[in-house]
Structure 1
């Protein structure tokens, strides 16, 4: 239960802050409207930092991401008995975090009448800058590979200042590699908020673009597997 609780609340904090920055950047009548890509990348990095701290304090390893949990288990870096509690915590926590963002920005959703003005699924989930599914998939594989490979060489990343290093890694991956797809890096970070956007009564919302959702689900998992395979071969 410690694993589930830590991953649930850590991922909830991650999405509350991360999707919150996207809402502030996209929706009308916020002070953060059109703050830009640096604002988003740094905010997501800090959101991950805070989520890892919360998760670590509550007893999990601060994965917050199936693309960490599943490859780590496959390559013997994490016990299989903990995989299901971690995944449940991640997906459920991400959904609750998205619900909190909807409540926080409800008046701004009402003030943003259509997708073109910023009321779109990109607040909660990722969208490609150019719709090219195969290359979008490779973009997610490469970005997640870089993220997980660096993560594997940090050791226990819940301790001391290491969560800030993890946040810096997220930010630099976002600025350097994330401009093609919005750098999901994390299936739970994409799918659960996308589901919240789909089923909850958000004013003026656009389409949820589930046709694209296989990319942020599969790409990060493959990238994580490749990173773990390389790390295992090297050590």
Structure 2
């Protein structure tokens, strides 16, 4: 397998993930923080906001194939579609991009973070948390949600013209089905944990929450932080292993 220019590959994943997190965290901030025009917009607004954030992130990271998610990346690695070096470069870029996107969101909503009295709402802009805290069941939810994400992405890639994770392999409409898939996962499976389904999406902003001088912030909830990292990685691996069988893709 020929590796791409790793510098451009890194930059593509960084820009795409930063865009994803700026808009994704942004819709949560709009709904959750005090004195926003979108305050109280509800969970479906968050679902659609995250879906459209994925749409934007995919469009601006076509060079790298718009992985934007270490769980997708590890699935591609297990399936032999990217090299281990590409996986490491993409994952590093995604984590840094997620931090940058979260910081930009905080800057955009700085006054509203200052006005918001509830530390939990502030943390919720950055990272996910369970509706009912039960680490084992929370882990199961994240595994299932991420399995659906990666499994269906494999279906998109192998039954269409999309080459996920391949430089330049994304057509302009590829972003739309992935975006709609994320909306569906959020609406159907997002209630228990807030559907991280992406280790970088949760860990990067959680780091940003921990280091930013956010007025009146509380704990970054590191006790829960392993769930939205480990669960999605397991889900991504399972999807990569089962896709060739369940989708009849073995040539």
Pairwise TM-score range, normalised by the shorter structure? over 0.9
Structure 1 residue 162 corresponds to structure 2 residue 174:
yes
Q: Which residue of 24, 34, 37 maps to 1:28?
A: 34
- Residue in 2 aligned with 1:142? 144
Q: Which residue of 75, 96, 99 maps to 1:95?
A: 99
Counterparts of 1:150-189 in structure 2, within 5 Å, are: 150-155=152-157, 156=162, 158-189=170-201
Residue aligned with 2:156, SS:
coil
The number of aligned residues is 231
Task: Provide the C-alpha distance between the structure 1 equivalents of 2:10 and 2:73, rounded to a whole number of angstroms.
Answer: 12
Task: Provide the C-alpha distance between the structure 1 equivalents of 2:46 and 2:182, rounded to a whole number of angstroms.
Answer: 11
- Residue in 2 aligned with 1:199? 211
Counterparts of 1:1-235 in structure 2, within 5 Å, are: 1-56=7-62, 59-115=63-119, 118-119=121-122, 121-155=123-157, 156=162, 158-233=170-245, 234-235=248-249
TM-score (norm 2): 0.89
CA deviation map 1:175-210 (0-9, x unaligned): 001111000000000001001001110111121111
Task: Provide the C-alpha distance between the structure 2 equivalents of 1:135 and 1:83, rounded to a whole number of angstroms.
Answer: 28
- Residue in 1 aligned with 2:167? none
Residue aligned with 1:154, SS:
helix
Post-superposition offset of 1:72? 1.2
Post-superposition offset of 1:115? 2.4
Residue aligned with 2:141, SS:
helix
- Residue in 1 aligned with 2:4? none
Task: Provide the C-alpha distance between the structure 2 equivalents of 1:146 and 1:66, rounded to a whole number of angstroms.
Answer: 15
Task: Provide the C-alpha distance between the structure 2 equivalents of 1:129 and 1:206, rounded to a whole number of angstroms.
Answer: 18
Structure 1, unmatched stretches of 5+, are: none
Structure 2, unmatched stretches of 5+, are: 1-6, 165-169
Task: Provide the C-alpha distance between the structure 2 equivalents of 1:107 and 1:166, rounded to a whole number of angstroms.
Answer: 33
Runs of 4 or more above 2 Å deviation: 113-116
TM-score (norm 1): 0.95
